[in-house]
Chains A and B, each alone.
Chain A
Amino acid sequence: MESPILSVEDFSAYFANHCVLRRVNLDVPRNKVTAIMGPSGCGKTTLIRCVNRMHELVPGARVSGRMLLGGEDIYAINPILVRRKVGMVFQRPNPFPTMSIYDNVIAGYNLNGMRLAKGERDRIVEESLAKAALWDEVKDFVYRKGTFLSGGQQQRLCIARALSMKPEILLLDEPTSALDPKATAHIEQLMSELKEYVTIILVTHNIAQAARVADMTAFIYLGELVEFGPSQKLFTVPDDKRTEEYLTGKFG
């Protein structure tokens, strides 16, 4: 197997003295969709927020252990650089309300003061929106504000915004929980298309969704990585009893 894009080694995360993730070991393969699932409060969102170092924004938060992105220790370099390589899409769509669709997509560059030639900018915007399956729907009015779009469209705009930075990993934090079933299906379809360009880590509490889209699935319970493996296997013949109990709805 080729080298994993993300290696999580003996990783723990804390809010002050409260431990939310306990010695997680995980290798995320390239260009695949990896789902992280588990009941509410199990630490799955904390895990991905550690990948793009957003966890440490909370006062009193700390981590121990290592996370290697392409061999490089994430916690040894400036967090801002990490966040440029790792994109994130949030639970509720959050396009920047004062910017047009165009400016939203290119926001990562604009806000960082990175100058681009107009031609290059146009290309990035079109490419990102196309990858997010939104280009055809908005190409005639990219200069209008993004807030009048539907929920599903707004979320795809946020995906395009993250993609424009050409990240190596795209973190999706329950991206469809605020969307209707049709929009949800759209985005799930998108995920399988996107893995060609970027590695996807998806946090979800929706077991069926993980089963539908993920190549690999990790099950986290009470801060511990209980099981990790190909989705096929995990959903049919899981190794750990706790995984089985979660899948059959014994707790949720």
Chain B
Amino acid sequence: MKVASGEAARAKHDRTGSGENAFRGALYVAALSILVLLAAIFLTLLVDSMPSIKALGPGFLYGRTWDPVAGRYGALPFLVGTILTSFLALAVSIPFSLAISVFLGEYFREGALSSLLKSAIDLLAGIPSVIYGFWGLFVLVPVVRAIQIKLGVPPFGVGIFTSAVVLAVMIIPYSAALGREVIQLVPCDLKEAGLSLGATRYEVTRRIVLPYARSGILAGMVLALGRAIGETMAVTMVIGNSNFIPRSIFSPANTMASVIANEFVEATGKTYVASLIQVGLLLFVVTTIVNIVGRHVIKKVSVEI
């Protein structure tokens, strides 16, 4: 009987290589390197801001004056700027993102209109931040200036208000997407129970669906907030680059992100550079906390549902 075909090939390969162990090892190393990367990022920020931490102490956080020339590094103006722009942006965006979540999650889950809106939201999320800033600078700022003239305030055009508006548009897709998902997950029988009691769709949505999806919607907002806090370019271009604590929402200001963008390249001197890096460290810590809180809430919500 002739040798069965393939037998020679099988016989030749009846030793197995150590390729398997090398492969598993490589995967393990890849995973570990992510942990190493994150740790290295945090440590670099910490170590490189040490000169400033040592020199300034906690005064950094509540110092009201940022004047590198005079050697004064108080980051409070940027904290205030960040908080004002982010929360204002969140507030402006909430009605719109909620509306979108309800529209896509409750009224129009499928169909052409729904796909259209979904694609448009994706486009909105895909536009680069520098283009938002550019558009904000050339289209929004003149409008805001006109408003300011009408209101009798100094017509800067740029400032907290303008930044907040641009930011609001940018973060809508994030909270809208998550909100839509949780609203869709609300069990049908709950809604039907409400409708069968004679409630209108509005009443069911308001009193049953939204409260049920409350945590998820909140998580979406927290994530959107995190995004707003870290956003750099669009804000840098329309916030006006002022290092003083903003007095009103029409004042020019700086956020933690925008001051780094504006000043890092020209910064000289150990303390100056280190203090900017310290602002970066602060930004890192704040956004990380906000993100973890948001995701934690999402996990709890997913488990409940």
**Is chain B a partner of chain A in the same complex?**
yes
Contact B16 A116 (CB under 8 A): no
Q: Is B21 an interface residue (CB 8 A)?
A: no
The secondary-structure label for the interface of chain B is: loop
Cβ of B12: which chain A residues have Cβ within 8 Å of it? 114
Q: Is B5 an interface residue (CB 8 A)?
A: yes
For the complex, what is the distance from the CA of A116 to the CA of B9, rounded to whole Å? 7
Q: Is B150 an interface residue (CB 8 A)?
A: no
Q: How far is the CB of A164 from chain B (nearest CB, A)?
A: 7
Cβ of A164: which chain B residues have Cβ within 8 Å of it? 6
Q: Is B14 an interface residue (CB 8 A)?
A: yes
Within 8 Å by CB of A113, from B4, B6, B13, B14, lies: B13
Cβ of A120: which chain B residues have Cβ within 8 Å of it? 5-6, 9
Number of interface residues of A (CB under 8 A): 17
For the complex, what is the distance from the CA of A112 to the CA of B15, rounded to whole Å? 11
Contact A166 B6 (CB under 8 A): yes
Contact A109 B6 (CB under 8 A): yes
Q: Is A98 an interface residue (CB 8 A)?
A: no
Q: Is B247 an interface residue (CB 8 A)?
A: no
A149-193 near B? 1/0 per residue, CB < 8 Å: 000000000000000111000000000000000000000000000
Contact B10 A114 (CB under 8 A): yes
Number of interface residues of B (CB under 8 A): 10
Q: How far is the CB of B166 from chain A (nearest CB, A)?
A: 45
Cβ of A84: which chain B residues have Cβ within 8 Å of it? 10, 14
Contact B5 A123 (CB under 8 A): yes
Q: Knowing A78-B16, A80-B16, A84-B14 touch, does A114 contact B4 (C-beta < 8 A)?
A: no
Contact A114 B13 (CB under 8 A): yes
For the complex, what is the distance from the CA of A112 to the CA of B5, rounded to whole Å? 16
Cβ of A250: which chain B residues have Cβ within 8 Å of it? none
For the complex, what is the distance from the CA of A116 to the CA of B7, rounded to whole Å? 10
B1-30 near A? 1/0 per residue, CB < 8 Å: 000111101101110100000000000000
Cβ of B4: which chain A residues have Cβ within 8 Å of it? 166
Q: Is A101 an interface residue (CB 8 A)?
A: no
Within 8 Å by CB of B9, from A78, A80, A109, A127, lies: A109
Q: How far is the CB of B201 from chain A (nearest CB, A)?
A: 43
Within 8 Å by CB of B10, from A78, A127, A165, lies: A165
Q: Knowing that A84-B10, A124-B5, A166-B4 are A-B contacts, what are 8 other residue pairs whose CB atoms are under 8 Å apart, sorted by A's residue number?
A: A81-B14, A81-B16, A84-B14, A115-B9, A123-B5, A127-B5, A165-B6, A166-B10
Q: B residues touching A (Cβ–Cβ < 8 Å)?
A: 4-7, 9-10, 12-14, 16
Q: A residues touching B (Cβ–Cβ < 8 Å)?
A: 78, 80-81, 84, 109, 112-116, 120, 123-124, 127, 164-166
29 A-B contacts (beta carbon < 8 Å): A78-B16, A80-B16, A81-B14, A81-B16, A84-B10, A84-B14, A109-B6, A109-B10, A112-B13, A113-B13, A114-B6, A114-B9, A114-B12, A114-B13, A115-B9, A116-B5, A116-B9, A120-B5, A120-B6, A120-B9, A123-B5, A124-B5, A124-B6, A164-B6, A165-B6, A165-B10, A166-B4, A166-B7, A166-B10
